[in-house]
Amino acid sequence: DAKTTQPPSMDCAEGRAANLPCNHSTISGNEYVYWYRQIHSQGPQYIIHGLKNNETNEMASLIITEDRKSSTLILPHATLRDTAVYYCIVRVAIYNAGNMLTFGGGTRLMVKP
Amino acid sequence: DSGVTQTPKHLITATGQRVTLRCSPRSGDLSVYWYQQSLDQGLQFLIQYYNGEERAKGNILERFSAQQFPDLHSELNLSSLELGDSALYFCASSTPSGGRSDTQYFGPGTRLTVL
């Protein structure tokens, strides 16, 4: 699986958009970009994933550059409850193929009042 | 709530002992993954089972073993415990979500403390 690079920490004001970048310059054509977050010591929570098109769900938006070498997770209106470590993971995602998630250091997002 | 359940929530035991952690996957999920999160190592993949069969192995110690039962719940057995085994242990299950992608959903974890 391709390696990802994320800033170790970011701050965001409550109510503003949080834009979390991820660099994955060695991504392969069949690798998806996944985002998870972990609030304190809870289980990682799935946020969103995409292959090459931008994706949006009730939690966030995922913007993938045209060359797929980087992406941005956008939380449109950050709240204090969005304070967490956010992980960007790139992986081949063939069901039942033994493709585990490889977590890096992630970005520690602090949402401030 | 991800739909993945893990028991117990907390476990405190002594060095040299053996413990069993239990995971029930989301309804319909056939694949179960185990991960370990310690302070110095971050989240690391241990092992995956699919429909009762071992499918992939990560950095799992020989003192650790796992199995998946016919009802699809899984157990992670940790033996000859050492202080360094103190960690959070997470289980995840997955289901195909259209096309070729699959998404893993994590349980709340078991916090193991070895004294």
Tell me the pLDDT of chain A averaged across its residues. Answer: 92
Which residue in the set A41, A100, A104 is minimally distant from B33, CB to CB? A100
Q: Quick check: A106 pLDDT over 70?
A: yes
For the stretch B69-108, pLDDT in tens is: 999 999 999 999 999 999 999 999 987 554 456 789 999 9
Q: Region A80-85: what's the mean pLDDT?
A: 97
> Would the CB atoms of A43 and B109 count as touching at under 8 Å?
yes
Q: Residue A4 — φ and ψ, nearest 5°?
A: -120, 155
Cβ contact B101–A42 (<8 Å): no
- The whole-number pLDDT of residue A2 equals 66
Choose between B81 and A104: higher pLDDT.
B81
Over residues B19-59, the pLDDT tens digits come to: 999 999 999 888 899 999 998 778 999 999 988 999 889 98
Please state, in angstroms and as integers, the Cα–Cα distance from residue A88 to each residue in A32, B29, B78, following that order: 10, 23, 30
CA A50, distance to chain mean position in Å, is 10
Q: Which helix (H) or strand (E) holds A107?
A: strand A107-112
- pLDDT at position B20 is 98
